[in-house]
Chain A
Amino acid sequence: METLMIILTGVLVTIATYLVLSKSVIRVILGTAVYSHAAHLLIITMGGLKTGNVPILGDEDISTFVDPLPQALILTSIVISFAVTALVLVLAYRAYQTLGTDNMEELRGSKYE
């Protein structure tokens, strides 16, 4: 299962890299979103996939339980990547309105302005 997840992460990273390298701003942003999903998948796989019960004290046998820390990390990281994606989408829209283009190639511009 772990191997499968790592391969899936690799596929996501491939797709994200392809998107980030394209010229359209919106594709770049989608690429960064896919990147963050890949990272989250990587973290949960690195912490070990389901190896036991939920890590909550109760009646059940809790001698083996899942590591809760990667999930906490991913939760934090999802919130952050959500905020960043929202911000960068607004930024891209405003840049499109002002600059009149969504082509990264044309955003080079002259140095003296």
Chain B
Amino acid sequence: MNNIIVLPMALPIMLGIILIFLRPYIKTQRVITVLGLLATIGTSMYMLHWIQTDGIIRLDFGGWEPPFGILFVADSFAVILVTVASIVTLICLIYAFSSIGEKIENMYFYSFVNFLLAGVNGSFLTGDIFNLYVNFEIMLLASYVLIVLGGKRMQLRESLKYVVINIISSWFFLVAIAYLYAQLGTLNMAHISVLISESGQTPLLTVTSLVFLIVFALKSGLLLYFWLPGSYSAPPTAIAALFGGLLTKVGIYVMIRVFTLIFYHEPQITHTIIGILAGLTLVMGSIGAIAYKDIRQIVAYNVIIAVGFILVGLAVMTQEALEGAVYYLMHDMVAKSLLFLLAGTMITVTGEKRLDNMSGLIRNYPAFGWMFFIVMLSLAGVPPLSGFIGKVLVGQGAIEAGSYVLLALAFISSIFVLYSLLRIFLNSFWGETIISFDDEVPMKRGWIVSFGLLTALMFTFGIGAEYFAPYVADAANTLLNPQIYIDAVLE
């Protein structure tokens, strides 16, 4: 019981509100946002260390004892993701400072980024299923605004579809909560879990869990990803990177949480379906990634492949596989943001969107080119980069559980990732240079700094995997033994 848990959500919200009043002072807004994000990162790291010594910490709002009140629960899994999400947001903002343009900054850009982060962090930390819905909505409302900031034709067109699809998935969420409440009469996730293990997971509850599955599949892009490539290629680069790094990951997090804490009694139904969906997602994502020549589409389909890969870990449900899923989530938040930033920058400097219209970029921008190469290796899972350890552990878990089909699909999809990105690399970075040195757009310092920080983070996650192991093992352990979470909440 400590008030510090609310800070990763409360701090961005308060800053977002303060920034509304500072609209004309863009420099001040930048400074305040950066300081706020540093404070959020610091708090969440402190919480992560604290959880290792004292176990899961929780905060009951208004002093209402669970299961009656709303509460925040901070376990290793949630706090790891809060930390990485805040770091990624900070780095995307460093990129935004020198790319987004005063016109958008003037339109409360920093306020909405803060609100987005508040929604994301709140979704990670909450222990109440209706509060989860509310946090989702905070995140989505901020994303509705961010996707359309700037008001280009394409943004308006894509945002309408994005908003409508998300309203409908939120409607499904409400319906699922209503069904769950009718059967159990509680909203506290730990309490729901206790009641279900007492009464057994009846067929009706399993059906309810499938409604939840539809909701989270829509949010995370698990098979129901048809909205994703269009809407992720519409907004400005920094915002697209933020979306690519954070939004689908929240859906994945919630799916892992709900299907390990609440609906884990009938894995032959729910987890089999998740496995099938993950397998199909890997296949369709791989086809999509090699089918297009628009680099924004290729990058967006790479997001979908990663969703399938992480959920293979959930479908398999062993200690190794879940550890792998957590590692891969951390890695993917960082690597996908970097990939979106690099792809967006390629479009900015060349003015082209198709990969066969660009060529020889590595002569103009060597550091930029090599960073693209590194992120490609990392996403393909080459050691010592961050993608490696996650892939190994998920694979190990899949072998242990005997899910050879999923194992094969997961690793074949890595080859497709490598191929799709290698195609960009070979076409756009090698070959005759198309930009003469006189009229090349200079690479801004902020861009290189943000790329460098994300690349360094990938090396840290890869080489320092041993250092992160206790945190990740604790996260997977809590996921696999829901009793730890329940005891922490209801004791």
Q: Are A98 and B156 also in contact (CB < 8 A) when A35-B167, A84-B167, A107-B161 are?
A: yes
Give chain B's interface secondary structure class. Answer: helix
Assuming the A-B contacts A43-B178, A111-B297, are A91 and B160 also in contact, with contact meaning beta carbons closer than 8 angstroms in the complex? yes
The answer to the question of A28 belonging to the interface, with a C-beta cut-off of 8 Å to chain B, is yes
- Cβ–Cβ contact B294 & A80, under 8 A: no
State whether A42 touches B154 (Cβ < 8 A). Answer: no
In the complex, A36 Cα to B133 Cα: how many Å?
Answer: 14
CA A73 to CA B279, docked complex, whole Å: 36
Interfacial chain A residues near B353, Cβ < 8 Å: 112
- Given A20-B168, A35-B168, A76-B134, residue A98 in contact with residue B153 (CB < 8 A): yes
A36 touches B171 (CB 8 A): yes
Name the distance in Å between B238's Cβ and chain A's nearest Cβ: 20
Could you tell me the distance in whole angstroms from the C-beta of B65 to the nearest C-beta in chain A? 15
**A35 close to B156 (CB less than 8 A):** no
A residues less than 8 Å from B145 (CB atoms):
87
Interface-side segment among B15-23, B81-89, B179-187, B253-261: B179-187
B163 on the A face (CB < 8 A): yes
Residue B157 is within 8 A (CB to CB) of chain A in the complex: yes
Cβ of A83 to closest chain B Cβ, rounded Å: 6
Pairwise interchain contact B156-A109, C-beta atoms closer than 8 A? no
The 8 A CB mask of A32-55 against B (1 = contact, 0 = none) is 100110011011001100000000
Contact status B141-A20, CB under 8 Å = no
A4 within 8 A of B: no
C-beta contact mask, B185-201 vs A, less than 8 Å → 1, else 0? 10100000000000000
Report the nearest B residue to A88, measured CB to CB.
B163
CA distance A94 to B160 in the complex (A): 11
Please report the C-alpha to C-alpha distance between residue A113 and residue B182 in the assembled complex, in whole angstroms. Answer: 48
Q: A91-B159, A113-B153 are in contact. Are A46 and B171 (CB under 8 A)?
A: no
* Interface presence of A66 (CB below 8 A): no
B148 interface residue (CB < 8 Å to A): yes
Residues of A within 8 A of B178 (CB): 39, 42-43, 46
Q: Tell me whether A39 and B174 are in contact in the complex, defined as CB-CB below 8 angstroms, given that A84-B167, A91-B144, A91-B148 are known contacts.
A: yes
The answer to whether B181 touches A47, judged by C-beta atoms less than 8 angstroms apart, is: yes
B168 cross-chain contacts in A, Cβ below 8 A: 20, 32, 35
Chain B 301-313 per-residue mask, 1 if CB under 8 angstroms from chain A, else 0: 0000000000000
* 8 Å CB contact of B164 from A28, A42, A111: A28
Query: B167 near A47 (CB under 8 angstroms)?
Result: no
Q: Which of B130, B175, B185 contacts A42 (CB 8 A)?
A: B175
Q: Does B474 contact A (CB under 8 A)?
A: no
CB neighbors of A among B354-410 (8 A): 354
B residues 21-68 near A (Cβ < 8 Å) are none
Whether A20 lies near B164 (C-beta < 8 A) is yes
Return the contact of B153 from the options A43, A80, A92, A99 (Cβ within 8 A): A99
Does A80 contact B157, Cβ atoms closer than 8 Å?
A: no
Q: Is A69 an interface residue (CB 8 A)?
A: yes
Decide: A95 near B171, CB < 8 A? Known: A69-B187, A87-B144.
Answer: no
Task: Find out whether the CB atom of A91 lies under 8 angstroms from the CB atom of B174.
Answer: no
Find out whether the CB atom of A95 lies under 8 angstroms from the CB atom of B294: no
Q: Which of B130, B156, B159, B167 contacts A32 (CB 8 A)?
A: B167
Chain B nearest CB from A74 CB (Å) reads 9
8 contacts between A and B (CB under 8 A): A35-B168, A36-B171, A42-B174, A43-B177, A46-B182, A76-B130, A91-B148, A94-B151
Q: Which residues of chain A have a CB within 8 Å of any CB of chain B?
A: 20, 25, 28, 32, 35-36, 39-40, 42-43, 46-47, 67, 69-70, 73, 76-77, 80, 83-84, 87-88, 91-92, 94-95, 98-99, 104, 107, 109, 111-113
Q: Which 3 A-B residue pairings sit nearest by Cβ, starting from the closest?
A: A46-B182, A39-B174, A95-B156
